[in-house]
């Protein structure tokens, strides 16, 4: 619990790091209706595509400096020489990022979805999808950020972007499935299955990558 509290303290004080991605998401979702006609049916076309891509981009921005600051100021070295599990600390950091950025964005997703579709059930169905997908994206981009630790965050994002594409496909299919009344839960379970693997694998891989960078 103490680690969770300390990670929260660090992120809370870095306003740009947590508020920036939320504002970018908010701006994309606000700007989207301006580019199409203000008619219900026109707005609904493409809304969910924009929503998932906005979540993807926000998560990419959120992980931009997830490890680089600790790498530069020597905190990573201090963490590695401790007897505490490094993988555990990475998991905690990703959870805190998700709670501070992913969850608010999921709530905003619901609000924007309701405002656009005026369909409460459909908007409610967006919540679990955005909550799970934001967590998956955070893990994937954290992996990218670790890979390109001293080479700029854009490279890492480009490397890990292909891993996020299947998730985007599943997200798109989930909404269609919900609208048609078929297999929505199966898609949620599929995403949860992916997440359960990623939650375990990513911190382990990231810890090895960071140790290799420090060497």
Partner 1 sequence: MDNITSVIAENISYKVNDNKLFHNLSFSLNTGESLHIKGPNGSGKSTLLRIILGITNPTKGSISINSTKDKCYLGHKNALKNYLSLDDNILLMEFDNHPCLKKYIEILDLKRYLDVNVANLSYGQQKKLGLLRLFLNSSDLIILDEPFVGLDKETQIILTDFLTDQLKENKTLIYTSHIECDIDSKTLLLK
Q: CB under 8 A: which stretch of 25-33, 74-82, 105-113, 122-130 binds partner 1? A: 74-82
**Cβ-based nearer residue to partner 1, 123 or 207:** 207
Could you tell me the smallest distance in angstroms from the CB atom of residue 14 to partner 1? 6
**Cβ-based nearer residue to partner 1, 154 or 214:** 214
Q: Which of 40, 42, 78, 115 binds partner 1 (CB under 8 A)?
A: 78
Report how many residues bind partner 1 under the rule CB under 8 A: 20
Show Cβ contacts of residue 65 under 8 Å, excluding neighbours closer than 6 positions: 14, 17, 145, 153
Question: Which residues in 14-53 contact partner 1 (CB under 8 A)?
Answer: 14
* Angle 130-7-77 from CA coordinates, rounded to 5°: 120
Q: CB under 8 A: which stretch of 30-38, 80-88, 108-116, 191-199 binds partner 1? A: 80-88
Inter-CA distances, 80 with 71, 86, 150, 154, Å: 11, 6, 18, 25
The number of C-alpha atoms within 13 Å of 125 and in the hemisphere containing its C-beta is 25
Q: Which of 36, 80, 190, 209 binds partner 1 (CB under 8 A)?
A: 80
Q: Which of 81, 121, 180, 181 binds partner 1 (CB under 8 A)?
A: 81
Query: Read out DSSP for 128-167?
Result: HHHHHHHHHHHHHHHHHHHHTTTT-HHHHHHHHHHHHHHH
Q: Which of 34, 83, 162, 181 binds partner 1 (CB under 8 A)?
A: 83
Q: Is the CB of residue 54 less than 8 Å from the CB of residue 168?
A: no
**Cβ-based nearer residue to partner 1, 81 or 180:** 81
Q: Is the CB of residue 87 less than 8 Å from the CB of residue 207?
A: yes
Cα 19 from Cα 30, distance rounded (Å) = 16
In the complex, the residues that contact partner 1 under the rule CB under 8 A are 2, 6, 9-10, 13-14, 69, 72-75, 77-78, 80-83, 211, 214-215
């Amino acid at each position: 619990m103490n680690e969770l509290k300390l990670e929260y303290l660090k992120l809370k004080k870095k306003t740009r790091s947590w508020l920036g991605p939320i504002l970018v998401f908010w701006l994309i979702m606000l700007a989207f209706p301006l580019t199409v006609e203000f008619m219900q049916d026109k707005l609904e076309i493409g809304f969910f595509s924009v929503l998932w891509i906005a979540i993807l981009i926000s998560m990419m921005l959120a992980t931009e400096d997830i490890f680089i600051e600790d790498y530069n100021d020597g905190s990573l070295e201090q963490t590695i020489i401790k007897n505490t599990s490094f993988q555990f600390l990475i998991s905690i950091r990703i959870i805190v990022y998700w709670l501070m950025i992913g969850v608010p964005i999921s709530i905003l997703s619901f609000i924007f979805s309701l405002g656009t579709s005026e369909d409460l059930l459909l908007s409610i169905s967006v919540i679990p999808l955005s909550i799970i997908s934001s967590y998956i994206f955070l893990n994937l981009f954290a992996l990218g950020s670790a890979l390109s630790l001293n080479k700029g965050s854009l490279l890492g994002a480009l490397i890990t972007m292909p891993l996020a594409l299947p998730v985007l496909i599943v997200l798109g299919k989930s909404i269609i499935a919900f609208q048609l009344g078929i297999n929505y839960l199966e898609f949620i379970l599929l995403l949860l299955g992916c997440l359960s693997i990623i939650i375990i694998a990513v911190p382990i891989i990231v810890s090895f990558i960071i140790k290799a960078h420090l060497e």
